[in-house]
Amino acid sequence: MGVAAVAVGAGRLALDRAAAYAREREVWGQADREPPGGLASAGRGQIELELAKLMTQKAEALYDAGAPAGEPSNMAKFAAGEAAIRCVDRAIQAHGGNGFALEYGLAQLWWGVRLTRTAPVSREMILN
């Protein structure tokens, strides 16, 4: 549940950074309304993160009630990890080459989010 929550937060951070960058980006002195990679797919990312958050909350509620929560926890982790990596990737695309510049923090965020797909339980183990 904790890994799922971290992944959801990181995905939201990435989308927030992409949106802020898109609002501020200028090309040849003019506002760039369509940054590299666009933000059209960011809405899907936001939906995926919200669904992952809801599954995380369900797992937490079951755990708090003393009910079995292993399967819902794994579902939440899977959904959150998948959504977060896509959101970070979209944010990198929206930044273009700057998505890899250390000062934007997206390349570092990618590594952390990518880890949520693998540890402590891999997505393949969850699917099995």
pLDDT tens column, 39-66: 556 788 999 999 999 999 999 999 999 9
Q: What is the C-alpha to C-alpha distance for residues 62 and 71, in angstroms, rounded to an integer?
A: 11
Task: Please state the domain count of the chain.
Answer: 1
Q: What is the C-alpha to C-alpha distance for residues 2 and 18, in angstroms, rounded to an integer?
A: 25
CATH code: domain of residue 84: 1.20.140.10
Please give the pLDDT value at position 42: 75
- Cα of 79 vs its chain's centroid, Å: 10
81 within some domain: yes
Mean pLDDT of the chain: 90
Range of the domain at 44: 2-24+40-127
Please give the pLDDT value at position 64: 98
19 within some domain: yes
User: pTM of the full predicted structure?
Assistant: 0.88
Do 13 and 64 form a contact (C-beta atoms < 8 A)? no
| Tokens (6 digits) for 121 | 């339980």
Q: What is the C-alpha to C-alpha distance for residues 61 and 14, in angstroms, rounded to an integer?
A: 27
Q: Is the pLDDT of residue 38 over 60?
A: no
35 within some domain: no
Cα–Cα separations (whole angstroms), residue 60 to 74, 75, 117: 12, 12, 19
pLDDT in tens, 62-97: 999 999 999 999 999 999 999 999 999 999 998 989
